[in-house]
Amino acid sequence: MSHSSRLVFVAVALCLVLAVAGCATKPAASPQSEGQTSIEGTIASIDTAPWAYDGNAVIQVDTSDRGRVAVQLPARWNLCKAAPVNVEALAVGMRVHVVGNAAAESQMVVCQEEAHRLVPAD
């Protein structure tokens, strides 16, 4: 292989590596779609039925500043860093404090960090 052929081969290989790395890179998240956040509000509904098929339970929380927020609780707490939420101790109408990651517009997930929680408000 001549010197110029090697340079072309190296250039093509480098371009392929950069193209693959660009595809594998996570796009920048909008502030509304990700990041740790906290809310306080009143429980509007509790739906644990999705846990029957490994889905996320959903606690709807009405807040004064963000409207209704769907707080998701994973079925597999053993995969979470957060302590499990005691859903049995929750009730519709109860005031709660929630720390979790914003998942999408008006949605949160309690799981990824040890500080995440859904507890009765003080």
- Average pLDDT for the chain: 82
In this structure, the number of other CB atoms found within 10 A of the CB of residue 15 comes to: 10
Domains of the chain, with CATH numbers? Answer: 36-120 (2.40.50.140)
Could you tell me if 36 and 101 are in contact, meaning their C-beta atoms sit under 8 angstroms apart?
yes
Tell me if the pTM is above 0.85.
Answer: no
Q: Is the pLDDT of residue 26 over 50?
A: no
β-sheet bridge partners, residue 102 = 108
Burial (CB < 10 A; 0-12, 13-18, 19+), residue 110, is buried
For residues 122 and 90, the model is more confident at: 90
Mean per-residue pLDDT for 55-81? Answer: 94
